[in-house]
Amino acid sequence: MDQCNANNRDFRQTSAAEAGAVLRIDLSAVRENYRQLQSRLGSTRCAGVVKADSYGLGAVQVAKVLAKEGCDTFFVAHAGEGLTLRAALGQGPAIYILNGTPPGAEAETAAAGLTTVANSLEQLAAWREAARAAGRKLPVALQVDSGMSRLGMMPSEVETLAADASLLDGLDVVLVMSHLACADEPENPANAAQKQAFDQLRAKLPAAPASLANSSGIFLGPDYHYDLARPGAAIYGINPTPGHANPMREVIRLEAKVIQTRTLDKDIGIGYGHTFRTTGQLRAATISLGYADGWHRRAAAGAYFNGVRLPFIGRVSMDSIIIDISALPEGAVKAGDLVELIGSHQTVDDVAGHAGTIGYEVLTGLGHRFHRIYEGG
């Protein structure tokens, strides 16, 4: 956990002047989204899922503002993410490791006061051993597989656990959880089937607070809320109700700088492979952002300047994209000006649609060359 650490926080912050693009993260929108979810949940507590550096937006910055909203429970995927978060937040909040602790990292994880999610009897045994070695009781979350077949104890493992109380020696079960595979499809019968399986499995385990819902799961209604909900995406502005209006506030704004502009005649090839040719005179600008910044090469979208859409032309390059600025008055954009790529005109979900992927992948793929501005903290 020291000199070789390549976590995001070790990337050098790029200054506004030198950066090719600017990423604004609206922490007041993060707070508002969290408040909205908490109010939907009523008496169910709302955790914050801050894995993968808060979906690329900065785990420490996000967790700190969620804590100000009263959030006292966080979920990360990896033990290393948990250690980083513990160092930033202090001893107060509960921090759960969704993937469980990798073999060999139990002592460090336990010493940092992190709660492992035991996804198998094997992970549970290793955590029991860590409690024995530490000479104290350790908290544990039990994840059961209610039908996603990704992480969690299989029904047969739950039976084994139910039949032998010594498998929990030295452990304090603080949460029983499972994860929904199809929560973003409210009509999918898999949701009710998973809920039923979850209820049957947790009935065999020691009584403990229960947790099933991610962001979309919260919108399936109170039957899915249990004691603790685990939203990530909705906090970051991704629509938890695909196909319906997004009830969440947009959190990010991504803008790229214009590097240069040019006027082109008819029948000129543009970009790699000349996949676009001018059919008449055209004014083009090249902007300083490309697929190395997490912009999918297939996401042929547009940029926006003063509300005017400026379509991409030609292929997305590693560090640049060419846009058609003919819709703007001559001289309206010049080198150094910023055009908007993600924001009010084109959301994270819109960009995901252009790329044939989901907003989660767009956010977590955002690169490290941007000048990052945190607003409303």
Map residues 91-110 to x or -, x wherever contact with ligand PLP holds by CB under 6 A. -------x------------
Q: How far is the CB of 142 from ligand PLP (least distance, A)?
A: 13
Helix (H, G, I), strand (E, B) or coil at 370: coil
DSSP H helical ranges for 10-78: 27-41, 51-55, 59-68
Q: Judged by CB, which is closer to ligand PLP: 61, or 214?
A: 214
Residues 67 and 218: their CA atoms lie apart, in Å, by: 20
Q: How far is the CB of 95 from ligand PLP (least distance, A)?
A: 14
Q: Judged by CB, which is closer to ligand PLP: 49, or 285?
A: 49
Q: Judged by CB, which is closer to ligand PLP: 23, or 233?
A: 233
Q: How far is the CB of 216 from ligand PLP (least distance, A)?
A: 6
| Selected catalytic residue, list 68, 137, 266, 272 | 272
**179 near ligand PLP (CB under 6 A):** yes
Q: Judged by CB, which is closer to ligand PLP: 175, or 234?
A: 234
How many residues touch ligand PLP (CB under 6 A)? Answer: 11
* Amino acid code (one letter) for 65: V
Based on its alpha-carbon atoms, the radius of gyration of the chain, rounded to whole angstroms, reads 24
| Selected catalytic residue, list 34, 51, 55, 257 | 51
DSSP secondary structure code for residue 103 in this structure: T
For 275, the token pair is 């996949």
CB neighbour class for 33 (10 Å; exposed up to 12, middle 13-18, buried from 19): buried
Selection from 169, 175, 101, 94 nearest residue 135 by Cα: 169
Residues 151 and 146: their CA atoms lie apart, in Å, by: 10
Q: How far is the CB of 109 from ligand PLP (least distance, A)?
A: 17
Helix (H, G, I), strand (E, B) or coil at 321: strand
Q: Is 51 a catalytic residue?
A: yes
Map residues 205-244 to x or -, x wherever contact with ligand PLP holds by CB under 6 A. ---------xx--------------xxxxx----------
Confirm or deny that 318 is annotated as ligand binding: yes
Q: Judged by CB, which is closer to ligand PLP: 98, or 124?
A: 98
State the sign of the Cα–Cα–Cα–Cα dihedral 259, 262, 266, 268.
negative
Q: Which residues contact 349 (CB under 8 A, 6 or more apart)?
A: 238, 239, 242, 246, 359
Place of tokens 């790229």: 256
Residues 216 and 20: their CA atoms lie apart, in Å, by: 35
**195 near ligand PLP (CB under 6 A):** no
Q: How far is the CB of 218 from ligand PLP (least distance, A)?
A: 8
Which residues make up each annotated binding site for substrate? 150, 318
Residues forming the site for ligand PLP (CB under 6 A): 49, 51, 98, 179, 214-215, 230-234
Which residues make up each annotated binding site? 150, 318
The catalytic residues are 51, 272
